[in-house]
Amino acid sequence: MLDILDIVFSAFMGAFFGIVAMALIGANRYSRHEQREQALLHEIKTLRQRGRKPQPKKKPVRRRNA
């Protein structure tokens, strides 16, 4: 009886630690996204103060094989 409880308890603890690990990874990803967004907004603000517009990203040229 005690062995079954150990197995069930271990499974629940493993699931709990897995959820916590995934939450930490997601929070880190969200934090990096927010930092990048703030950096871009700051860049736009400084460019506007200088009287320049931010340059859009150039799209890659699609070439056909003829």
pTM metric for this prediction: 0.53
Q: Residue 47 domain-assigned?
A: yes
Q: Residue 4 domain-assigned?
A: no
User: Does the structure show a pLDDT above 80 at 21?
Assistant: yes
Q: H or E element: which one contains 9? A: helix 2-50
Q: How many domains does the chain have?
A: 1
Q: Residue 15 domain-assigned?
A: no
User: Does the structure show a pLDDT above 70 at 5?
Assistant: yes
Q: Residue 31 domain-assigned?
A: yes
pLDDT tens digits, one per residue of 30-43: 999 999 999 999 98
Domain span holding position 41: 22-52
Q: Residue 12 domain-assigned?
A: no
Q: Cα(4)–Cα(41) distance, rounded to whole angstroms?
A: 56
Residue type, 32: R
DSSP assignment letter at 39:
H
Q: Cα(17)–Cα(9) distance, rounded to whole angstroms?
A: 12
Q: Cα(33)–Cα(37) distance, rounded to whole angstroms?
A: 6
